[in-house]
Amino acid sequence: MSEDYIDGYIFVYGTLKSLEQNAWVAEKAGPHTRARATISGFDLYDLVPEGYPGLIVGKGKIKGELLHYPDLEGAFKVLDILEGANETPPEYSKKQITAYTEMEAVTAWIYLYNFTLERTGATLVSSGDWHGQLMPLRGLDG
């Protein structure tokens, strides 16, 4: 992995947020801190029957959390499994963006959805703030 993965931030907008069903996976990924944050220039969709969101480049403002991992490479080893980033083709891919907390703007990574959202079961979350339901796990022990 590149040096960009040594210490850094991940913006989460779905099941990895506090109080969501995969918040425990963020914990399993390593010690980190959380702060409320937003990003702009993206659209967020609720995916049914999947039970999780998909984020694509768009025009909206998205509400989520900024996770800071001192060992970002280690965190990605765990989070990439959940996000299907190592599948062929990958369900999500990583992209660097600017995220905003109340105090600062930081460069962070996000997971972007790689498939079309122009289908039945993909509903735009116009508030930009996704809240989920329970879903099955993918390749992780609970």
**Residues 92-139: tens digit of each pLDDT:** 999 999 999 999 999 999 999 999 887 888 999 999 999 985 444 555
Class of domain 3-124: alpha beta
Strand partners, 110: 95
pLDDT for res 106: 96
pLDDT one-digit tens code per residue, 47-105? 999 899 999 999 999 999 999 999 999 999 999 999 999 999 999 999 999 999 999 99
Neighbours of 116 (CB within 10 A): 9
Q: Identify the band that residue 7 occupies on the pLDDT scale cut at 50, 70 and 90.
A: confident
Return the domain boundaries, the chain.
3-124
Q: How far is CA 88 from CA 54, 55, 98, 104, in A?
A: 17, 19, 28, 36
pLDDT one-digit tens code per residue, 18-44? 999 999 999 999 999 999 999 999 999
